[in-house]
Chains A and B, each alone.
Chain A
Amino acid sequence: KAGVTQTPRYLIKTRGQQVTLSCSPISGHRSVSWYQQTPGQGLQFLFEYFSETQRNKGNFPGRFSGRQFSNSRSEMNVSTLELGDSALYLCASSFQGATNEKLFFGSGTQLSVL
């Protein structure tokens, strides 16, 4: 069974641009969540999608958005990039998205904003 796949692996953008990151969950998993990892703030929850609906949202500005498709693949978008958006963005999937379920993480997309 293939794991969680995130593309691209690395991205370099400049301030003001927008970026789209992609995540393909494990086959059969319906919940996809996104996390931002930085040395200063650690791992912070962005949002969770379940059956194409955003079910939970973290405390991030509206520049951060996402969506989920009918095949459970998910994308997240960051508009008007700022230097502070430089981070490792991790996607995780689980079968039903229950609070006691194991998360399966992808290797992440390393975003650098110059």
Chain B
Amino acid sequence: AQSVTQLDSHVSVSEGTPVLLRCNYSSSYSPSLFWYVQHPNKGLQLLLKYTSAATLVKGINGFEAEFKKSETSFHLTKPSAHMSDAAEYFCVVSAINYGQNFVFGPGTRLSVLP
């Protein structure tokens, strides 16, 4: 069965410093991997996705993630945090290779300090 581990439930950074949100996955086949963000009282929004093309994936708002098969990791990074980045971030893996059945990680809450 597919699974996702997000190693930190809460990450706190200062504005202007780098962001690293860690994600490890388990999958019995080549999965599709995603990062979604959920701002308070707003719906989930896709940040970026990996689908077996380039291993370094660029997303919206300056975020990027690197797929490392040997480490089964898909960590999310951003060079410089902004106050508006404060939100809950979810790493997601496709559970099957047909249709849509996604496994969400438990989430990492990102706080950005002024």
- Which residues of A are interface residues toward B (Cβ below 8 A)? 3-4, 31, 33, 35, 42-45, 48, 50, 55-56, 58, 90, 92, 94, 97-103, 105-108
Contact = CB atoms under 8 A, between A and B. Distances in A.
B23 to A, nearest CB: 14
B32 A45 contact: no
Interface stretch (B12-20, B68-76, B95-103): B95-103
A108 B43 contact: yes
A42 B104 contact: yes
Contacts, number: 67
A99 B100 contact: yes
A99 B32 contact: yes
Interface of B: 32, 34, 36, 42-46, 49, 51, 90, 94-107
Contact of A98 (B43, B90, B95, B100): B100
B49 A99 contact: no
A24 B111 CA distance: 33
Nearest to B46: A102
B97 A99 contact: yes
A21 B99 CA distance: 22
A103 B46 contact: yes
